Amino acid sequence: MNFKRKIQEIVGSTYRHALFYNFPGGLRFALSKGGSSLDLALSALRKVTVVCDDIFVGEEHILVHLETFAPTSRFGLRAMLRELKVAGVEVPRVRDVWLDAGEQMDGSHEESDSILCCAFDVPTAKLQNLIWCAITTDLGALRPRPGCRVYLLNPNKGIVVHPYDDRGMDVISRNSPTLSGLYKRHNDLLLDYDREAMCKTFASS
């Protein structure tokens, strides 16, 4: 199965961080606001789960897309895979792995400027495990923490979900009616800073 092609078909092009701004017409949700690292993670986990339960209702599988800066040695990759395994997410043998050109980085990092991508299917029962991996990106005190970007996709609805850290989550799709339904059902969770832009897109739909 060509997971990479399925991913590109959903939005029509390669995507990267800040989906809400790079793909106009999407949704941006607010997650945690304050407290300890655990408080932030649990608050974000609850809110992301509410929205994602709606997005993936009736689906048996989630298409997962992971991104990380390509390690210059195998040890960095092993550490990420170990953290994923501890989180209950094992990368299956049926998967796609590829390199994309990445952001420019200086020589002080242990990674290259290439982006290592991996895509595979997991049962929807692993949804909260994956959400945890996504929202703990910048919460270094908490484990497990794979430290990679986690995108959750529903190919049947044409939706890409990106909880970019404990603070927020972007949802994009070329299926505007589907996003409109999410806008109405989860309006209380939308990020106020970008609410005006979302209202222009969905308030009259």
Tokens, residue 70? 């390509």
Tokens, residue 90? 């094992």
Contact present, 64 and 120 (Cβ < 8 Å) = yes
- pLDDT tens track, the chain, 205 positions: 799 999 989 888 778 788 999 999 999 999 998 899 999 999 999 999 999 999 999 999 999 999 998 876 666 788 899 999 999 999 999 999 999 876 544 444 444 578 899 999 999 999 999 999 999 988 888 999 999 999 999 999 999 999 999 999 999 999 899 999 999 999 999 999 999 999 999 987 6
Domain boundaries, the chain: 3-202
Q: Distance between CA atoms of 119 and 40, rounded to whole angstroms?
A: 27
Contact present, 168 and 77 (Cβ < 8 Å) = no
Burial class (CB in 10 A: 0-12, 13-18, 19+), 71: middle
What three-state secondary structure class fits 141?
Answer: coil
Contact present, 72 and 107 (Cβ < 8 Å) = no
What three-state secondary structure class fits 38?
Answer: helix
Q: What is the 3-state secondary structure (H, E, C) of 41-59?
A: HHHHHHHHHHHHHHHCCCC
pTM for the full model?
Answer: 0.91
